[in-house]
Structure 1
Amino acid sequence: MIPQFRVYCKHLQKMFCFSPSVITTFEELLNTKCFHEASQLLIEREDRLFGEITEAKALKDHNDEVDKLAADYGDLETSVLHTLRLSLTPGEVSTQALTSAVNAINQEEHQDQRWKERDRTPPAWRPKGWKKLHDDTLRSLVEERMDNPSTPPAVQVDQSSIQADVTSMGRQLNADLLLVVEVVKNCYPPELDICNLYARLYHQYLSARLRKILDEKDSANLLQWVYYYTEILQKPQLELTTYIGRVLEDAEEKWIKGEEPTREDGCFVSPVAYDIIQLINGRVTVAEKLVRDRSKAQNITCQLKGLMERFKTFQNKIIKKNRSNSRPFIKANLGCIEQFTDVLLNRSQLFPKKVQEHCVLILRDMKQSAHTYLLKPVHESLKPQYRKLGTNEWLKKHIFDKLLESIKQELQELQGSVKSCHEELIGQLHQEVTAEYVKRLLKGKVKLRNKEQQEEACDMIIDNAESLHELFTNTGSKEERLRKILTMIAEVLKLQGLPAIQMQVVSLGTDFPDLSEKHVSALLKLKTNFTRADRKTVKKTLSETLKDVNCVAVRPFFSTVQVK
């Protein structure tokens, strides 16, 4: 035996029980599936035959060795491809053998590249192109397994033969991709991204088969198994419900442990919405490309109603338990609610209409309950100052200044949501404080007996309105209309003549159609010099005007202000 044709594989001693004194030949390496070492041995022979001597001499004097090398390469290629074809059959090939085959392929690709860089004519077998052979072999393997699934279709009573076949393919896809994720990918270097390669091959196969399926029931069935990218690689569970459930469980586990959500730029954020949206978008988009029918692809998101209910239940639990980390989680949830709402409204093509409408309502309720939870402690803290509004003491400026100072302190505690959500939360507080202000004023604890007192009250309300507006808009509120409400109320108190008051009340009612006769009556009662008959006239005028113009309050205000 030629000494150059021998190699000692020290790292194989333990695997194959070789003695340190044993030297292995190419044939022995091939038989023990040491493909990487066998490839290295052939490359050394190749470099010797075509490197150390001239090209002419190699062809003239070493034809036998060249022919033997070509034959050995053929045997190695056959063995490597055979190993690849068994890579999805557990028990037929070891992970060590598959790893060695993959390393051999990479090694041969590098040798191809080295020959491209050499200024010599390469051997007839170069370039070998084993990477393309690898991909073609896997493509053929995928097609064979999907054409002949290991689990034959069991036709159910409510299934067509096509649907049963599709279900069988789905089971095969499921089993194969899980095997790739759990076993095969460990035999490949990360840069080859073998999971995505297999996923693309299954996608291409399913896409071709699906276009032949016209029955909606069959198409919907296949959508349960359709290819979707990152999730199939990261999660062994292939169902939308299971995956989203896991996302919510991870968030809940973090909350139970007492941890706070992640902070980005000082704001609490949660991956819940992002992860779920990416999953839904990926699955529906790919499914639509496959079936060329949006309504069929939307079947995937029919489960979203129940999943959104689970999200709501999770938030309700956070609020009910009121742990030390509950407020940070609710602030993070506001960002999720905004993201979900944005997708539901602006990417409606992903969802059936009823699913979209139902989920939007759930999210609206969740946002309101989150706002209520975060703002309730604020109002509790402000109650002592609220009680003095609309009283004789209120006409002293320092009383309202104390309220402003307390609000400033509470605003600090509300920080932590992403900017857009924080602005909306502050806008909600702005409205609620203004509504509380109006409610206290309409309680009638202050009596404005003459023109001077009424003008003083008018000036005070306008000044208060400006102060509230400045405070809240500087911290994010976009509620410009609230200043207008207080200013118009102040003008009603200032005006003296019945016609002028009628016009002002009608103007207020037109701009804010949820203004009721009760509100008007309570407001006019503050003017003790305004007769009951005049109040009745003003209310009648308002009622007739609103009836004629048929106004609808887009953003209610007075309906949140309860009066007796």
Structure 2
Amino acid sequence: MVLETERLVESRRLLEAHVRLMELESWQDGVLLQLHGSRGSSTPSLSPEDDELVRNYFSGVGRLVEALAKELWAVVGCGLTLSLQNPTTFVSAVRIVEREEALDRLFLEERKGGTQGRPMPPGRPRCWRQHFFKVLEETVAARFRNVSFRHSRGPGLAGHLSALQHSIMGDLTTVRNLLEQCVPPYYCLTKAYLQACHRCLQAHLKQTISWELQSGEIFAVLHWVLHVYSSSEMMGDPSLAAYLVLDDLGPLISQEGVEQLQNKYVQSVRKSVSEWMQKALEVELTDWQRDQEPDVDHEGCYHTTLPTIITQMLEENARVALMISETLRDQTIQMGLYEMENLLVRFRDAIVEFGKEHRKDPSDNNTNFYLHYLLACISNCITLKSSTENLYQQVGSHSSRASVRLSRIPPGPLAALDRAVRKACRLVMDQLLLELQPHLQEVLTRTWLVQGDVVSMVCGVLQRHCELYGRARSPCRQRLREESLWLAVVEYVRALMQKRLICRSEEDRQHTAQQMTQDALQLDECFRGTEADGTVCEVNPTSLIPVLADLIKLKDTGMLVLEVSGLISKYPDISEEHVSALLDIRGDVPRDVRASVLCLMDQSSPALPPGYRPIFPDILVPPPSMPFCLPTAKCA
């Protein structure tokens, strides 16, 4: 009987083999029952000698059980393939499993009912139905490993996940349409297969995310887990809703695991962003050395490629991260803003170095377009500021949580942009002052008083610069023009305070005041002629020069106190040193009048009105020169 049953197992005539096996087991159970009964009810178990005797005699039965089980689970493992070819063998395996389950229940019920006349047969209960589902899960895991697993590292990870998707959905179709018909309804085979897939995926992904993944690999995993897996193309398929509620399975990756992956993704992207920004800065510094003016955009403003590269990089990273989640997008933007701040610190340092190199040799051919590239830097910063503000708005535009996160992001990039712009504007003004200096040396001297055309050359430099400032983006375009006029007026009044020209007569005072008034008018006309975009300066500093001219040309020195009082009301930041220098320039102020004027200055301390921009703190008055005294002589 054993030999015949072995041949049936080997030829996979499983039902016939199982019938023979059941017959053999029945003989075995009968012998055990007889031996048990002969020992009496007071001795419920067999003696060791009897037990060994039975086991040896029926050892072939045990081997048959193992052989049948091996073939049985091989058939179950090939169930997907068999269902497409000939499911008969698979159905036979399921029938055998159900027979075994029935026998297990029978013996367990007898034991539970207190029946002492029949011992539990060896190897019972077999729990083959439970093992059926275990084999099913092992089969799913094996199919996962066979789906291009060796190519799942590096760029092939996305393809591996896609292959898994198609494999799982194909198998589910087979299970639902074919295998489900080969098992009893209470097996819920499709649901069991879905659960097995889910558990195997959890284990598979746990191993995958333990690797040192790059940003592209992390993106592939997160996108697949958070979007593809639950989509209608996979587990969210409406046809699967009757078998399983996806939320009952739990996440493929825990929330903590997702957060760790997102942090790894941001750090990986950060390295790439930092490297790209450094390369972009190196290209920018190379552009500054070109012997040609910068490129001009559609608005006529100078620019380089730096803001475009930076903006596209950050926006592209934000767009990609948003495909995963808003949280990851916000983290990516925050990381990008910090990296931009680091870049802008280096950018400002490069501007400072650019200015130092130019001052060493202003005639160097490589700095012919020094001013042009400073203006390009200013325009670049304004463009980057707009892009940065857009990124801030993206972070805070969706939820209150995002707004809270936004409030924790320090305004580092915006502050760094402002510092870079201020430095570039300062260097632009330094360059203007450098070119004005030769002409300003002659202002308010005897030569100036005789020739009267010195300021026209100053206006020529101003006009040329202001026209060039039109290549900068607004609002810096108008700000530079205003600052250039402010600088010219400050330097003009500073030259006056140096007392290069002391009036010797009434005619000198009238002539000096008249020339100063003409200079102020010429400066004002020059500045208004550069306002091509129609903007008007809110505070025109040229109005200061005629006011000072009026004080110089005043004929009655007794009215000086009143005149100075009016000057203080208009310019409350004027100091005693400034007024004293003006009185010296007149050359005719008596001591008592000077004392009264200076006493008025001591008593007057008016507050600066709102919106008033002080000008006199920028105008330094040279200290009075002390007369040279010999050690043995008495100083006058």
In the superposition, the TM-score normalised over structure 2's length comes to 0.49
Pairwise mapping of residues 170-181 of structure 1 onto structure 2 (< 5 A)?
171=213, 173-175=215-217
Which secondary structure state, in structure 2, belongs to the residue aligned with residue 417 of structure 1?
A: coil
1:386 to 440, 451, 457: 440
In structure 1, C-alpha distance between the alignment counterparts of 2:282 and 2:205, rounded to whole Å: 38
Task: Give the AA of the match of 1:175.
Answer: E
In structure 2, C-alpha distance between the alignment counterparts of 1:489 and 1:207, rounded to whole Å: 80
Instruction: Identify the range of structure 1 (283-292 vs 495-504) with the bigger mean alpha-carbon deviation.
Output: 283-292
Determine if the alignment matches structure 1 residue 460 to structure 2 residue 535.
no
In structure 1, C-alpha distance between the alignment counterparts of 2:428 and 2:230, rounded to whole Å: 46
Change (3 A) 1:86 1:303: same
Match of 1:505 in 2: 567
Tell me if the contact between 1:488 and 1:508 (Cα under 8 Å) persists in the aligned partners: no
Task: Give the AA of the match of 1:335.
Answer: S
Change (3 A) 1:415 1:452: same
Determine if the alignment matches structure 1 residue 526 to structure 2 residue 559.
no
Task: Give the AA of the match of 1:367.
Answer: A
Determine if the alignment matches structure 1 residue 303 to structure 2 residue 303.
no
Note the C-alpha offset of 1:444. Answer: 1.7
Match of 2:491 in 1: 436
Instruction: Identify the range of structure 1 (260-269 vs 463-472) with the bigger mean alpha-carbon deviation.
Output: 260-269
Change (3 A) 1:153 1:272: same
Match of 1:66 in 2: none
Pairwise mapping of residues 256-405 of structure 1 onto structure 2 (< 5 A)?
260-264=293-297, 267-280=301-314, 290-291=326-327, 298=334, 300-322=336-358, 323-324=366-367, 325-341=369-385, 352-353=409-410, 355-356=412-413, 358-360=415-417, 362-372=419-429, 374-380=431-437, 383=438, 385-396=439-450, 398-400=452-454, 402-404=456-458
Task: Give the AA of the match of 1:433.
Answer: A
Specify every segment of 5 or more residues in structure 2 that has no aligned partner in the other structure, as ranges.
1-145, 163-196, 232-250, 359-365, 396-405, 623-636
In structure 2, C-alpha distance between the alignment counterparts of 1:262 and 1:397, rounded to whole Å: 42
Tell me if the contact between 1:458 and 1:494 (Cα under 8 Å) persists in the aligned partners: yes
In structure 1, C-alpha distance between the alignment counterparts of 2:561 and 2:431, rounded to whole Å: 44
Instruction: Identify the range of structure 1 (367-376 vs 244-253) with the bigger mean alpha-carbon deviation.
Output: 367-376
Instruction: Identify the range of structure 1 (332-341 vs 528-537) with the bigger mean alpha-carbon deviation.
Output: 528-537
Which secondary structure state, in structure 1, belongs to the residue aligned with residue 586 of structure 2?
A: coil
In the superposition, the TM-score normalised over structure 1's length comes to 0.55
Tell me if the contact between 1:173 and 1:202 (Cα under 8 Å) persists in the aligned partners: no
Which secondary structure state, in structure 1, belongs to the residue aligned with residue 452 of structure 2?
A: helix
In structure 2, C-alpha distance between the alignment counterparts of 1:204 and 1:438, rounded to whole Å: 70
Match of 2:273 in 1: 240
In structure 1, C-alpha distance between the alignment counterparts of 2:416 and 2:252, rounded to whole Å: 30
In structure 2, C-alpha distance between the alignment counterparts of 1:207 and 1:551, rounded to whole Å: 66
Tell me if the contact between 1:211 and 1:290 (Cα under 8 Å) persists in the aligned partners: no
In structure 1, C-alpha distance between the alignment counterparts of 2:331 and 2:504, rounded to whole Å: 68
Task: Give the AA of the match of 2:265.
Answer: W
Which secondary structure state, in structure 1, belongs to the residue aligned with residue 546 of structure 2?
A: helix
In structure 1, C-alpha distance between the alignment counterparts of 2:202 and 2:528, rounded to whole Å: 64
In structure 2, C-alpha distance between the alignment counterparts of 1:458 and 1:223, rounded to whole Å: 71
In structure 2, C-alpha distance between the alignment counterparts of 1:399 and 1:523, rounded to whole Å: 23
Specify every segment of 5 or more residues in structure 1 that has no aligned partner in the other structure, as ranges.
1-81, 99-139, 155-167, 181-197
Match of 2:620 in 1: 562
Change (3 A) 1:220 1:551: farther
Which secondary structure state, in structure 2, belongs to the residue aligned with residue 438 of structure 1?
A: helix
In structure 1, C-alpha distance between the alignment counterparts of 2:480 and 2:230, rounded to whole Å: 46
Q: What's the RMSD between the two structures over aligned residues?
A: 5.0
Pairwise mapping of residues 116-135 of structure 1 onto structure 2 (< 5 A)?
none
Which secondary structure state, in structure 1, belongs to the residue aligned with residue 621 of structure 2?
A: coil
Q: Deviations over 1:297-321 (max 9, x none)?
A: 6455233332211111222343344
Task: Give the AA of the match of 1:239.
Answer: S
Which secondary structure state, in structure 1, belongs to the residue aligned with residue 442 of structure 2?
A: coil
Pairwise mapping of residues 409-558 of structure 1 onto structure 2 (< 5 A)?
410-411=464-465, 414=468, 417-418=471-472, 420=474, 421-449=476-504, 453-476=508-531, 479=537, 480-495=539-554, 496=556, 497-510=559-572, 513=573, 515-542=574-601, 544-546=603-605, 548-549=606-607, 555-558=613-616
Task: Give the AA of the match of 2:616.
Answer: F
Match of 2:16 in 1: none
Note the C-alpha offset of 1:263. Answer: 2.6
Change (3 A) 1:240 1:466: same
Tell me if the contact between 2:294 and 2:303 (Cα under 8 Å) persists in the aligned partners: yes
Taking only the aligned residue pairs, the percentage that are identical comes to 17
Tell me if the contact between 1:305 and 1:359 (Cα under 8 Å) persists in the aligned partners: yes
Q: Which has the larger radius of gyration?
A: 2
